[in-house]
Amino acid sequence: MNTVIISTELAYWAQSLLRVLGGLVAVLLPAGTIVYIFLFKMMSFMQSRLGPMEAGPYGSMQLFAEVGKWLQKEDIVPAAAQAEARIFKMAPLIVLASTFLLVVVVPFGPDAWFTDFETGIFYALAVGSVSVLGILIAGWSSANKYSLLGGLRAAGQLIAYELPMVLAVVGVVIQAGTMNLQQIVVAQNAGSIFGWDGVGNPYILTQFVAFLIFMIAVQAELTQTPFDMPIAESELVSGYMTEYSGFRFLIFFIGEFATAGVFAMIASILFLGGWGVPFAWFGWTDINSVDNWMNVAGPLILFTKMLVLVFFIMWIRFSSPRFREDQLQRFAWKILIPISLINIMVTAVFKVAF
């Protein structure tokens, strides 16, 4: 019996539409999950309370209620900021746009990706800093001293902690020999440790110092406690977000948790093998031999690893005191950056020697 295989190629507009829809899912689904599981429930349990329980089973619809509430609130532009109203309104969109630009390079499976840049991690680190512009614009255009101070604090903090983040990634790039995120995933899952490939070669084992530095830098990039000086409520009300209301405040809120999810995905790709499992389990040798079902299982595996990393981010957020501004800067410049440079040097020596 002859088998006839019919294949069709989607038009460019259809491919673009699917990519946009996929991007929305890849950004909003993790953000909503993080808010419900960690902000609504985990924090409540840590404080011996139940959290939202009325809207849906176990409060599962509370997030939709919150979104509806914020969408109904008035969109207010401060009187002193009317001259720069257009820029004031633009700032939250810039912050959220940086998250969508970031998720573009995340591989979710052997063939499940939006773009496959050869310099994917370089692109991710570059567009991840775009949010600084939005935060600065928000602080300056609000015509509020608290907002301006919060924006300046955020800019100084994000610039300081982007350096150790970049340096932490360099060790992974040296070991993998590539900046392509898909190839970094393959290098870990197809690798071996002293000839044993039972768990592959996840870089969290060989780059554990870089992993810690990267996660600390992510915590600071997200302005999460103990690095929340830009929005310190005891000093600055809400920092650069003080004058925002309604859906524009909601955009800042979504951007914060969506970025946490995307950075956790990137961390899992760099250090935990991303969407993959050790190839030796199924007899795979390279990405071309990976079965197609991994395009379905891969996103679920990556999502699970992302939640594990976000758990630690939120755990630290809910249980740590705040750094002073001088402590925060000293920690980045005098501790994290020198350790990052030492890690690069050691990695390069071992790469050449072995």
- The whole-number average pLDDT for the span 320-329 is 84
Task: Give tens-digit pLDDT for 245-304.
Answer: 888 888 888 888 899 999 999 999 999 999 988 888 888 888 888 888 888 999 999 999
Which residues are CB-contacts of 76 (< 8 A; sequence separation ≥ 6)? Answer: 243, 245, 246
The answer as to whether 338 is a domain residue is yes
Write down the pLDDT at residue 234: 67
The answer as to whether 18 is a domain residue is no
The answer as to whether 65 is a domain residue is no
The answer as to whether 28 is a domain residue is no
Task: Give tens-digit pLDDT for 44-94.
Answer: 888 888 878 788 788 888 888 888 888 888 777 777 677 677 888 888 888
Does 3 have pLDDT greater than 70?
Answer: no
Does 310 have pLDDT greater than 90?
Answer: yes
Asked whether 40 and 210 are in contact (CB, 8 A), the reply is no
The answer as to whether 19 is a domain residue is no
The answer as to whether 20 is a domain residue is no
Task: Give tens-digit pLDDT for 191-206.
Answer: 888 888 888 889 999 9
Query: How confident is residue 8, by pLDDT bands cut at 50, 70 and 90?
Result: low
Range of the domain at 330: 74-353
- The whole-number average pLDDT for the span 7-35 is 80
Name the maximum alpha-carbon separation found in the chain: 77
The answer as to whether 279 is a domain residue is yes
User: pTM for this structure?
Assistant: 0.89
Rounded to the nearest 5 degrees, what angle is found at the Cα of 317, between the Cα atoms of 131 and 168?
60
The answer as to whether 16 is a domain residue is no
Please give the tally of structural domains in the chain: 1
